[in-house]
Structure 1
Amino acid sequence: MTDFPHIQQKRWPSWVRPRLAFHGAPVGILMLDRMPGPGLRPYIPGDTGNATTWSVPVRYKTVPELNNTCIFGAAGEEKTSAVVAAAKELVREGARVITAGCGYFIRYQEAVRAAVDVPVFLSSLVLTPFLEQVLPQGKALGVVVASKAVLSQDMLKAAGVRPDMSDRVVVFGLDDAPVFAGFFLEPYGDLDVDAVQADVVKAILTLQKDRPDLGMILLECGGLPPYAAAIQEATDLPVFDYTSMVEFFVDGLTRKPFKGLL
């Protein structure tokens, strides 16, 4: 017999919206507008922008004219209303959680959270306080971001990162990783996955050499999860990213009865 756990209930759950175009895609993802320019730069498996990254169907919404240059600069503040509108639209379409494809969406975390009635976690940076809390004494968390130069204190505050965490939270930017920066910060040319992976791993090994007290690594950029396994193999450290955060919430939405032996 087909088992749809909610269908036999007398009333539909509150999260079932009327007359939706489709159902069954609970994760809403806000995306940057793609930067113009030559080159083929697809969202590869593991990237937040690749739907096969996720264990459940997701729905995407691009924020018009909010690209890398805009979100990194002062003009990004002008896009707050557009980000909020896109998040509201995702909720109207049936999204039960709202996340984003780029960690710098953290600048809109509070505005979106105030505007919708579903959980909002726009950046993997929100994992920072939790990971810092569970670190062993004497260990530090390495937070690897696309660009440290544009990561403001306000963004860290929005993620729940307090000033008293500074000794145990090490923010490391990939601004000077030439291959990564070329493809992700100032996009040009065709994406070379192997070259990006080697570049990112090399940069993080430099961080680990400078900070031998690292106990965990958190990746901010939505384009970094494809390289998480290689980073872990090279550093022998736990590595967390967007997928860690989103799948944690997905598990909370899709709980199944435990089956086993007594």
Structure 2
Amino acid sequence: MRYKTVFGLNNTCIFGPNDEKMTATVVEAATELVREGARSLTGGCGYFIRYQEAVRAAVDVPVFLSSLLLAPFLEQVLPRSQSLGVIVASKTALSQDMVEAAGIRPGIRDRMVIRGLDDAAVFAGKFLEPNGDLDPEALEADVVDAILRLQKERPDLGMLLLECGGLPPYAVAVQEATSLPVFDFTSMVEFFIGGLTRKRFTGLL
């Protein structure tokens, strides 16, 4: 596993409406990783979907920069009576261009329930406008509470997709509270890495 810092890319840029100015910097970081031997590229923040196509065009390895790429697949496997809940850091920052870049067509979007954590006080104070020390227990409770309220509003939810790269530590708590399948960017990475590191088949048991 190799990491590359994208200098200058902060929350203001990621959640801003005009983030094209950082595309070249993100592409440069991606190409450096490939030169260093990376066999695939990913990112933690779901809003890196902004750069999916630009990076994919610049390198010759698989690119999956956002957990939002899982949305079309998850929608396809859900019973038609159920909806896919997508939990994002900031709903106001999720543009139509980003939705389209993730391959979310209108028919898929119709079956998605998008809930932003903009109004979750603890989460917003640590991820949207970072301030002070992080309290993991308070943050977990804040995230779980927001999702439980969504589930109460939408009892048709069949699965949950967590967009934000800061949410995987709370996926277990969310699943225990909702009893729903929960996916995030670590699910996406594990799926792809599984294809790169197949083990010899020894039977079903």
Q: Which amino acid is 1:111 matched to?
A: A
Give runs of aligned pairs for residues 73-222 of structure 1, distance below 5 A.
Answer: 73-222=16-165
Task: State the distance in 2 between where 1:255 and 1:116 align.
Answer: 24
Q: Which amino acid is 1:118 matched to?
A: V
More helix by share: 2
The alpha-carbon deviation at position 234 of structure 1 amounts to 0.3
Counterpart of 1:239? 182
Cα distance 1:258–1:186, how it changes in 2: closer, same or farther (>3 A)? same
The alpha-carbon deviation at position 101 of structure 1 amounts to 1.7
> How many residue pairs are counted as aligned between the two chains?
205
The alpha-carbon deviation at position 256 of structure 1 amounts to 1.2
Does the CA contact (< 8 Å) of 1:66 and 1:76 recur in 2? no
TM-score (norm 2): 0.97
Does the CA contact (< 8 Å) of 2:115 and 2:150 recur in 1? yes
Task: State the distance in 2 between where 1:207 and 1:101 align.
Answer: 24
Task: State the distance in 1 between where 2:192 and 2:110 align.
Answer: 29
Percent of pairs identical after alignment? 75
Counterpart of 1:8? none
Does the CA contact (< 8 Å) of 2:17 and 2:93 recur in 1? no
- 1:6-61 deviation digits (Å, cap 9, x = unpaired): xxxxxxxxxxxxxxxxxxxxxxxxxxxxxxxxxxxxxxxxxxxxxxxxxxxx1110
Matched residue of 1:60: which SS? coil
Does the CA contact (< 8 Å) of 2:74 and 2:84 recur in 1? yes
Task: State the distance in 1 between where 2:194 and 2:203 align.
Answer: 19
Q: Which amino acid is 1:117 matched to?
A: D
The alpha-carbon deviation at position 166 of structure 1 amounts to 3.0
Matched residue of 2:180: which SS? coil
List runs of 5+ in structure 1 lacking aligned partners.
1-57
Q: Which amino acid is 1:173 matched to?
A: G
Give the ranges of 4+ consecutive aligned residues of structure 1 lying more than 3 Å apart after TM superposition. Answer: none
Task: State the distance in 2 between where 1:75 and 1:138 align.
Answer: 37
- Mapped pair 1:229 → 2:147: no
The alpha-carbon deviation at position 260 of structure 1 amounts to 4.0
Task: State the distance in 2 between where 1:107 and 1:245 align.
Answer: 17
Q: Higher Cα Rg: structure 1 or 2?
A: 1
Task: State the distance in 1 between where 2:44 and 2:19 align.
Answer: 15
Task: State the distance in 2 between where 1:123 and 1:87 align.
Answer: 14
List runs of 5+ in structure 2 lacking aligned partners.
none
Matched residue of 1:216: which SS? strand
- Mapped pair 1:68 → 2:11: yes
- 1:212-244 deviation digits (Å, cap 9, x = unpaired): 000000000011000000000000000000111
Task: State the distance in 1 between where 2:30 and 2:163 align.
Answer: 20
Task: State the distance in 1 between where 2:107 and 2:80 align.
Answer: 15
TM-score (norm 1): 0.77
Aligned-residue Cα RMSD (Å) equals 1.2
Task: State the distance in 1 between where 2:80 and 2:44 align.
Answer: 32
